[in-house]
Amino acid sequence: MDRRDVGRLAEDVAASWLTERSWRIVARNFNRRLGELDIVAQQGRMLAVIEVRTRANDEYGGAAASVTARKQQRVLRATAQLLQQRKDLRELLVRFDVIVVHEPASPQPRVEWIQHAFEAR
């Protein structure tokens, strides 16, 4: 399984995990020139823009630490584009989360959800 397959599997695990917790998946892999959003989910008046990460090990700070300032800016720009296109989402509260999926190919992958992982600047 190559890196893209593992990433796709991790996103599938994260989306299922969110759905099981009553989040509605609004968008997946919203890809624009300025950036990509892995998962956008809604629960009530909250819109969570979620970066999904996975790593084989926790060296170099782990998967959550890999969401650099540059990556955050790309997520913020793509979110602005999404909100421009989807008027129905504009009135919601927006937060930026990271979901780390440990061992996504295992029968029991572990999901770590970091809410409010970063803020719009």
- CATH code (residue 43): 3.40.1350.10
Residue 25 has pLDDT above 90, yes or no: yes
27-72 confidence digits (pLDDT tens): 999 998 889 999 999 999 999 999 999 876 556 566 666 788 899 9
- Its pTM stands at 0.91
- Res. 1 pLDDT band, cuts 50 70 90: confident
Query: Count of domains in the chain?
Result: 1
Please state, as a whole number, how many other Cβ atoms lie within 10 Å of the Cβ of residue 87.
8
- Measured CA to CA, the distance from residue 96 to residue 114 in angstroms comes to 9
Residue 42, pLDDT score:
98
Question: What average pLDDT does this structure show over 22-30?
Answer: 97
| Domain span at 66 | 3-118
Question: What average pLDDT does this structure show over 60-87?
Answer: 87
Q: What is the largest CA-CA distance in the chain?
A: 41
